[in-house]
Structure 1
């Protein structure tokens, strides 16, 4: 049922816009989209009027690369022998985890990950999924749970040869089925997921290319050159680089979501720019895995977005930690990277392209996703110093709206039983971990 709301006396922060700070404004929400934003109360009748009492608000944030399936990895016992390299981390940690997932543990992981996202102000997630032993229905589980919770989701399940041809075919079928199932839902998008070039043979890439050719509105979502081993593998197969290998199979277009790109040769930046692909930077994960840091000029040239790679769900924290990680690696006076631009300018552009609707900004016509903060600044907030307050001052949001509906009130879920969700996650995580020993 359509409804309209009026938010009054809101201090609206819109980073990377012409008016980044609008004090004491009035915001109209028409059903699931933003209406007018005005300095005085607009005329008209409203189903609900909410006095925001001078609190600060941000657009609902977008996580441009997440792994909801890994939420239950928090505190997971480490391997008996520490991995010696990135491939060892994959083999001894993440590939063991994804193979151990079943429907129950996957559901618990997705549910708890979505709760953490909403409570941190993340309202849209571009997810990259893997559960080789529970493929059938897994993307629907992610998409429908996110939709029920009010979170926009772009889903993909990784295609890989590491689990055999039968699993590859099941994942491809799951992708096609899911895309058809949710084709009319503008809060759910489906991408063609690939794990990475080095776990896919040429025959599989050709199959993916043929699938992609049947739907020119679909893009791929894969890990690109996260580690130097990915580049060495491509070269051993006779290709100059991973990107050139993907391009050889006609897998790259303006809807391609390429994640990491840390170890690409410099020439690949120009090719990505020519093809109009989208690059996603995950600084905290890159630091955690010790695989290097994305080149600043590449990030700027390609308008890179910001993701978490499953390591967390709070995008302001990711922006802060990315800022600090980079600062620790450069000299005084050397230019850094503006992570708030990645989050508040590039991520909305990326998500709007994938979902084919305006997302990630508080402007008329955009989906009404909003995070409101109980923040009492100890220094004046101005358009010039917004970044400092956002990175080093802002707490968790007190209220979160998605599609115009209140999902979080005073830091608590309004429509979900978080205690029950977390209790089930405890049971499922313990069961999951036992399978890894």
Structure 2
């Protein structure tokens, strides 16, 4: 039994969202009690005490869209690579990179990404894998990395026609195989979706093939209208917008997660709303790829779409995405009031709700029977922290580097900035070896 106390407790519970000198008790994998530090110490004197030292105690973050395979792109220089638009970025970097990834590289990148998640307080990650250098078993490699680090994860493999029919079918088979394997687990630490790249790399026949092979109760994880190439392709090929095309193919729905949705119109937004399709926005990645800003505020407020926040492989520190989302929507709409409430709703409320369409244990809140996923941030506030302003303290005063302790499913994964039970030096040494292998394969 763990008792984390002596801090500003942000529970995200509607009944009692904030306790100034709060504490949380974890028994097994879930939360037993929430209250004041004094009261819980008296009620549970036998519990191991983790002292927040006046910092912030809150639920672990959920990252709803990531690309672990991008881990080894950091610092990579590709000969002759000078992209002019998003299509050039995909073809010149990402497709070349994932075409060379094998399972050893995939596992090494996964170990780093999940380790980095722990360091940044991300306790649940939804990932979208592509490694056409070795498809079969690639999700197992990520699964093993997640188990080693103890991070909750939901995995899928990116189906695409870009490398021909054989590899498309291999990607479908990898999704189906891992979905069945994940369903046999009883620990609620790993689940699976069915990954699709994007409409413009998927034929009608491939979409039908994916739909025919989709296991019951599972949705798709797909990129929608991230760049204009996706829009033009759908209009040219089918005479209809991307969302309409995917709707007719049976891809949308409550269990489906749509990434980006930048270049879509009101009718498409209505389809996403009517099908209860989840949408995740990724501000840093969108800015880096110069693809534009989605109408996320409009989708959230006017269409009541379940909007979430992801990092899209740009970082594993989702507090960065929080900060960038707050700024990009103000800038995009020329409205200083934009994003103050909407972005926190995406990150702190909707991300856990979206994740709970796959995970059974309640996420993103500190209350009895919810997941024992708790983080402690080392933060000395220069101004009072209250029930009305704690999101502003997170926005302007904290980032992943403030995370001192990370507890996932009741197990301490990082304490006093030290990751527990993991040879961190070995993880990074192995990553260096695998990254060098990948870089040589790309540039040789």
Q: Deviations over 1:171-230 (max 9, x none)?
A: 111111111112133111110100001101111111111112xx3300000001111211
Superposed CA RMSD in Å reads: 1.7
Provide the residue aligned with 2:299 in structure 1: 298
Report if aligned partners of 2:260, 2:282 keep a CA contact under 8 Å in 1.
yes
Report if aligned partners of 2:325, 2:339 keep a CA contact under 8 Å in 1.
no
Provide the residue aligned with 1:357 in structure 2: 361
Provide the residue aligned with 2:176 in structure 1: 176
Alpha-carbon distance, 1:332 to partner = 4.9
Q: Deviations over 1:70-92 (max 9, x none)?
A: 11111111552421211111000
Match 2:189 to one of 187, 190, 211: 187
Provide the residue aligned with 1:164 in structure 2: 164
Q: Give unpaired runs (5+ residues) of structure 1.
A: none
Alpha-carbon distance, 1:334 to partner = 5.2
Asked if 1:91 is matched to 2:91, the reply is: yes
Question: Matches of 1:153 and 1:38 in 2, distance apart?
Answer: 29
Alpha-carbon distance, 1:324 to partner = 2.1
Q: Which structure 2 residues correspond to residues 176-255 of structure 1 after superposition, within 5 A?
A: 176-185=176-185, 186-212=188-214, 215-255=215-255
Q: Deviations over 1:394-427 (max 9, x none)?
A: 2420110001111111112111111111122122
Provide the residue aligned with 1:412 in structure 2: 418
Q: Aligned in 2, Cα 1:436/1:401: closer, same or farther, shift over 3 Å?
A: same
Worse-superposed segment, 104-113 or 342-351: 104-113
Match 2:373 to one of 369, 381, 406: 369
Provide the residue aligned with 2:266 in structure 1: 266
Provide the residue aligned with 2:406 in structure 1: 400
Q: Deviations over 1:100-149 (max 9, x none)?
A: 11122212111111111110000100000000121111111112211221
Q: Give unpaired runs (5+ residues) of structure 2.
A: none
Question: Matches of 2:324 and 2:232 in 1, distance apart?
Answer: 30
Q: Deviations over 1:47-88 (max 9, x none)?
A: 523343333112100100000111111111155242121111
Counting matched residue pairs gives 432
Match 1:385 to one of 362, 367, 389: 389
Alpha-carbon distance, 1:15 to partner = 4.6
Question: Matches of 2:300 and 2:71 in 1, distance apart?
Answer: 27
SS of residue paired to 2:412 = strand
Match 2:310 to one of 307, 310, 320: 307
Q: Aligned in 2, Cα 1:327/1:180: closer, same or farther, shift over 3 Å?
A: same
- The TM-score normalised by the length of structure 2 is 0.93
Question: Matches of 1:275 and 1:365 in 2, distance apart?
Answer: 30
Q: Aligned in 2, Cα 1:383/1:334: closer, same or farther, shift over 3 Å?
A: closer
Alpha-carbon distance, 1:349 to partner = 0.3
Question: Matches of 1:111 and 1:207 in 2, distance apart?
Answer: 32
Q: Deviations over 1:281-326 (max 9, x none)?
A: 0011111111110102014331310001010001111101222233
Report if aligned partners of 1:16, 1:344 keep a CA contact under 8 Å in 2.
no
Question: Matches of 2:404 and 2:81 in 1, distance apart?
Answer: 42
Question: Matches of 1:49 and 1:312 in 2, distance apart?
Answer: 32
Q: Which structure 2 residues correspond to residues 270-281 of structure 1 after superposition, within 5 A?
A: 270-281=270-281
Q: Aligned in 2, Cα 1:335/1:11: closer, same or farther, shift over 3 Å?
A: closer
Worse-superposed segment, 199-208 or 376-385: 376-385
Asked if 1:116 is matched to 2:120, the reply is: no
Q: Which structure 2 residues correspond to residues 140-151 of structure 1 after superposition, within 5 A?
A: 140-151=140-151
Report if aligned partners of 1:62, 1:360 keep a CA contact under 8 Å in 2.
yes
Alpha-carbon distance, 1:330 to partner = 3.5
Question: Matches of 2:16 and 2:94 in 1, distance apart?
Answer: 43
Question: Matches of 1:47 and 1:372 in 2, distance apart?
Answer: 17
Question: Matches of 1:418 and 1:247 in 2, distance apart?
Answer: 45
Alpha-carbon distance, 1:45 to partner = 5.9
SS of residue paired to 2:238 = coil
SS of residue paired to 2:364 = coil
Question: Matches of 1:111 and 1:132 in 2, distance apart?
Answer: 19
Provide the residue aligned with 1:23 in structure 2: 20
